[in-house]
Structure 1
Amino acid sequence: MNYKQIVQYGVLIFGAIILIGLVLKGNISHEKFDSEKWKNWTETESELSLRWDMMNSLRNNHELIGKTRTEIIELLGKPDSETKMDFRYYLGMSKHGINTGSLTIKFNENRIVTDFSVWQG
């Protein structure tokens, strides 16, 4: 490989990184998770995606697996819907067209979080 080819590949890789960054810029939010904002959120025109915007921070900074139902309610408030085995929180608009979504938290028979997932559609 000669010098010219190395420079061409370097420019190509750098351009790809910039392009990926621009594409992801609108999809990854750095909104810090705030328990009170989450619990008191209402879907308004100015805050359509507040919960979506906090999801990365929530996932990265709060270990949900292993928490009790009571701890989840303390952190996220009362769920929008619940069954014996899961809580579901509405996330609002996802910033991907007209999609909305939800956070589902699954519990075992001891009321301990075993899994969670984010749905968009």
Structure 2
Amino acid sequence: MISRLKRNDKIGLFFFVAFILSSSLIWLFEERFDKEQWRSNPSLRYKMVDDVIESQLLIGKPKYEVIELLGQPSSRSSAEKDAFLYRIGRQPGFFETKREQLLIIFEAQTVVKVTIVEEE
């Protein structure tokens, strides 16, 4: 059957299979948020941070629920922003990368935005 496909169809099939495989592997090896792991291994939080952001786990939650889930933040609100910052550790790599933090922004005591920022 595959030998009967046209060249362009074979290329399209190859990319489709590659996409499915890569998506599956990313999903399989990306760690899901785990409250106990988050609290006990701050240097490995980078493994779970994508799940926290993509799942919108914190959106709409009040501050006390964020603290219940993630623990006390590394730093809190500044004069211009009502926010929490959590250190997430450093991903292993060959090149020196800047440290990143999870930034949680509140409006009216409720989470409205969760993102990653470079540590200053």
Specify whether residues 51 and 7 from structure 1 end up closer, same or farther in structure 2 by C-alpha distance, changes over 3 A only: farther
CA shift in 2, pair 1:28/1:86, >3 Å? farther
**Structure 2 spans left out of the alignment, 5+ residues:** none
Q: CA deviation at 1:67?
A: 0.5
Q: Is the 8 A contact 1:27 1:95 kept in 2?
A: no
How is 1:1-121 mapped onto 2 (pairs within 5 angstroms)? 7-17=6-16, 18=18, 29-43=29-43, 50-61=44-55, 63-83=57-77, 85-95=82-92, 97-99=95-97, 100-108=99-107, 110-119=108-117
Cα 1:114–1:22, aligned 2, differ >3 Å: closer, same or farther?
closer
1:39 Cα offset (Å): 1.2
TM-score normalised over the length of structure 1: 0.68
For the Cα contact (< 8 Å) 2:42–2:88, is it kept in 1? no
Partner deviation per Cα, 1:40-89 (whole Å, 9 max, x = no partner): 2143xxxxxx2121123323545311101110000011111111500111
- The SS at the match of 2:50 is helix
How far apart are the structure 2 equivalents of 1:30 and 1:119? 20
TM-aligned CA distance change 1:62 to 1:51, over 3 Å: same
Scaled by the length of structure 2, the TM-score of the pair is: 0.69
* Identity, % of aligned positions: 25
More deviation, 51-60/20-29: 20-29
What amino acid maps onto 2:57 in structure 1?
E
How well do the aligned residues superpose, as a CA RMSD in angstroms?
3.4
Count of residues in Structure 1 that have an aligned counterpart in Structure 2: 111
